Amino acid sequence: MSDNGRVPRPFPDVPEPEARAGLRPRLPSPLTETADARFARRGVRLLLKRDDLIHPELVGNKWRKLAPNLAAARGRALVTFGGAYSNHLRATAAAGRLLGVPTIGVVRGDELAGRPLNRSLARCAADGMRLHFVDRSTYRSKREPEVLARLLADAGAAGAYVVPEGGSNARAVEGCTELGRELRGHADVVGVACGTGGTLAGLAAGLGAGQRALGVAVLRGGFLAREVEALQTAAFGRRRGDWEVTDRFHAGGYARVPAALEAFAEDFEQRHGLPVERLYVAKVLHALTVLTEEGAFARGTTLAAIVTGAPDPV
Ligand SMILES: Cc1ncc(COP(=O)(O)O)c(C=O)c1O
């Protein structure tokens, strides 16, 4: 709340009518209870934190991570990075269109430049995002300051506000603390899928005393706990909250959806009428189900699963 008791506007530099027309997030996101025998049998409750319902185009953690960055950009163009199917690129392009902010997307793979755009990139372009394709080696090195400076100059994005790949930076982490605050007093353990770790970093910092966050890595490699710690240090100067990352449930790595996980997700959809996004949300729901069945949670525990996304319409 601001001094005059009004909720501060998330985009102070955006003319009010535009903000009202384009961006009306549903916050706090709904928290619903599911009746699932696999959990009930163990005396465990399962809640779903429906961040997928925050905004039809800025789904789930996208709103929470982008909103503080768009406010910080203060009307400057926004440049960000992603692969040819990046949800983050699409969300950024949509936010740019909704708020009248120019966006530039640096896309991995210069071989794509001469080809027709796939549906994901075509959506970005239709939302006004200018696409700049770079070779994979440059893309990999984009965190190095000289490489980044050259890349931005080539993309016509010098002076633009830079949002990293996946949208996770200190501001995004701060934005995600609100997710934790919304869950205070409601759950003992909160499960969330980890891609870059930004959502977990913020969530864990926002939870209250006695609450624990469990990050489910969707990538192989076992590096995510370090990333989460680095993001918390960038945002808060230190590690915060009670959290851990499990590397048991990536199902083979990023974008891998083996038949058993697909079957689990289809079954969950039928049981609960929840559209289950496969690359992240299916993995966290699967992790919580398996851990519950293994007896990892004491009777009387309340779990919350963050529904960070919806199945991709593209
Ligand atoms: C649907 C969905 N859930 C979870 C995540 C993971 O979020 P983070 O990268 O903050 O770990 C992503 C990645 O952006 C995502 O698209």
pLDDT tens-digit profile of 46-94? 999 999 999 998 988 999 999 999 999 998 999 999 999 999 999 999 9
Alpha-carbon distance of 240 to 31, in angstroms, equals 24
Q: Is 199 in the pocket of ligand 1 (CB under 6 A)?
A: yes
Distance 50 CA to ligand 1 centre (A): 14
Contact indicator for 279, 255 with CB cutoff of 8 Å: yes
pLDDT, tens digit, 9 for 90 and up, residues 233-274: 999 999 999 999 999 999 999 999 999 999 999 999 999 999
Distance 62 CA to ligand 1 centre (A): 8
The bridge status of strand 31-34 relative to strand 45-49 is antiparallel
pLDDT, tens digit, 9 for 90 and up, residues 129-139: 999 999 999 99
pLDDT, tens digit, 9 for 90 and up, residues 106-122: 999 999 998 999 999 99
Predicted pLDDT of residue 242: 98
Confidence tier at 9 by pLDDT (50, 70, 90): very low
Structure-model confidence comparison of residues 314 and 174, the more confident one: 174
Predicted pLDDT of residue 17: 41
Take residue 241 and report the two structure tokens written for it: 């909250």
User: Residue 277 CA: which ligand 1 atom is closest?
Assistant: 1
Q: Is 88 in the pocket of ligand 1 (CB under 6 A)?
A: yes
DSSP 63-78: HHHHHHHHHHHTT--E
Query: Collapsing DSSP states into helix, strand and coil, what is residue 225?
Result: helix
DSSP 9: P
Distance 248 CA to ligand 1 centre (A): 17
Mutational pocket test of ligand 1: of 90, 173, 196, the residue with most ligand atoms within 8 Å of the beta carbon: 196
Whole-Å CA distances, 168 to 62, 79, 196, 247, 309: 10, 13, 7, 20, 16
pLDDT of residue 123 exceeding 60, the answer is yes
Instruction: State the chain's maximal CA–CA distance in angstroms.
Output: 59
User: Residue 196 CA: which ligand 1 atom is closest?
Assistant: 9
Q: Is 195 in the pocket of ligand 1 (CB under 6 A)?
A: yes
Which candidate, 305, 281, 53, places its Cα nearest to that of 183? 305
pLDDT, tens digit, 9 for 90 and up, residues 180-211: 999 999 999 999 999 999 999 999 999 999 99
pLDDT of residue 12 exceeding 70, the answer is no
Distance 122 CA to ligand 1 centre (A): 21
**Helices and strands, number each (H, E), in the chain:** 12, 10
Query: Collapsing DSSP states into helix, strand and coil, what is residue 112?
Result: helix
- Percentage above 70 pLDDT, the chain: 92
Distance 124 CA to ligand 1 centre (A): 18
Distance 6 CA to ligand 1 centre (A): 31
Contact indicator for 230, 200 with CB cutoff of 8 Å: no
Distance 197 CA to ligand 1 centre (A): 8
Q: Is 86 in the pocket of ligand 1 (CB under 6 A)?
A: no
pLDDT of residue 6 exceeding 80, the answer is no
pTM confidence score = 0.91
Confidence tier at 23 by pLDDT (50, 70, 90): confident
User: Residue 215 CA: which ligand 1 atom is closest?
Assistant: 11
Q: Is 87 in the pocket of ligand 1 (CB under 6 A)?
A: yes
Which candidate, 189, 251, 178, places its Cα nearest to that of 215? 189
pLDDT of residue 127 exceeding 60, the answer is yes
